[in-house]
Structure 1
Amino acid sequence: ALVEGVVNSTKRLHRIFNNILDVSRVMANGVKVHRTQVNLFVIMDGVYREFREALEQRNLTLTYDSLRGLPPYPGDPDLLYKVFYHLVNNAIKYTPDGGSITVTGRVVETPDLGRCVEVAVEDTGIGIAPQDLDLIFEKFYRTGEVAFHSSGTFKFKGGGPGLGLAITKGMVELHGGRIWAESPGYDEETCPGSRFVVQLPFEDEEDGEETEDETAE
């Protein structure tokens, strides 16, 4: 148990270090977008596989079948993986044991961004207070108190430096897109849930960005 605890702590510190590096790179405009045709279902499937043990421990369900029908998106597979990794990670943290996380996707026409792929991550968690809906995308910001009431090693409301959503926002904006959060409010008893929406425009390939023909799988 002691060895396992040391290993988990080491992994946790490694993730925090990488997150700090990601934030620093985004702030310094040091992230290069390498575009290719990305299958978003494959990206999310990889995220699911990474979190499968945590989901099982917490008796959480993650569904993302609707992403199968999306057309390939011209984006950076590594950056998009981080976007959905952090969104699912956030949903797991703030959804009590036995809850559900649903990822849906569709293509939409917007007046300002044009044709976009829109992916929403919705959970049955504790929700977000109205005054926090914009603040949660700021660095080092977390909602509520960090409490540990879960049977799994991946804790409900588990701690962290509060960088994941800031990284997500930065990676989305590097693709010319936007992200926002929706929630009826914050309540640990009734769990009103929250919904994070990402819109990524198809027509945002700027000069100087590398574009490849193959589809990332």
Structure 2
Amino acid sequence: SIDQGTVTMGEVLTVLPFQNTLATFKISGKDLVAGLESGLSQVEDGAGRFPQVAGLKYSFDKSVAPNAGRVKSVEVMENGAWAPINPDKQYLVATNNYVRQGGDGYKVFAEKAKDAYDYGPGLEQVVADYLGAHRPYTPKLDGRITEIAATTAAAEPAKPAESAKPAETAPANAEPAMPAMPSGSSDIAGTPPAVPAETVPAAPAETAKPAET
């Protein structure tokens, strides 16, 4: 990978040392999905064939056996909007010459590609030109690849309901329960009697004295 900061051509060559060239070809939606299936067939092993994509997004479930339907959905960008891939439509694809010629298990591209051209510029130059044209470049995630979590966990068996216990019978020599006090009764032992407040008569208002002359 390339560290954060100024990117040099030497760093680009370090991550792309194979002198691959840009390749283009046309292929049906059906065969393109088959290529994705092949690319996901060794995802458990972290194999380098894992398909990184652009202009396309897909979801997959690795709990499914390899090449048996791991790809669950594929959409392509058309006229600024995502649309489900059409298995019968021909799509123009760009990759490198190694993958286009069937490398890393993408045999379907070698067998089914139409109008293939493997002699574009070097991949390292394509990357360097792109970074130079989009400086400063900030990597980001945009949800092109989604892994679907497996849903095969077995449900736990339900626990049997507990049997109701019979009510306990009081022994014959038990003391009888104290009956509840009637409503409005007070606890004589714990509550002091209420003392009525003393009423103080109001003082009569003084009569106003006549003003002195």
| TM-score normalized by the length of structure 1 | 0.25
Structure that is richer in strand per residue: 1
| TM-score normalized by the length of structure 2 | 0.25
Structure that is richer in helix per residue: 1
Structure number with larger C-alpha Rg: 2
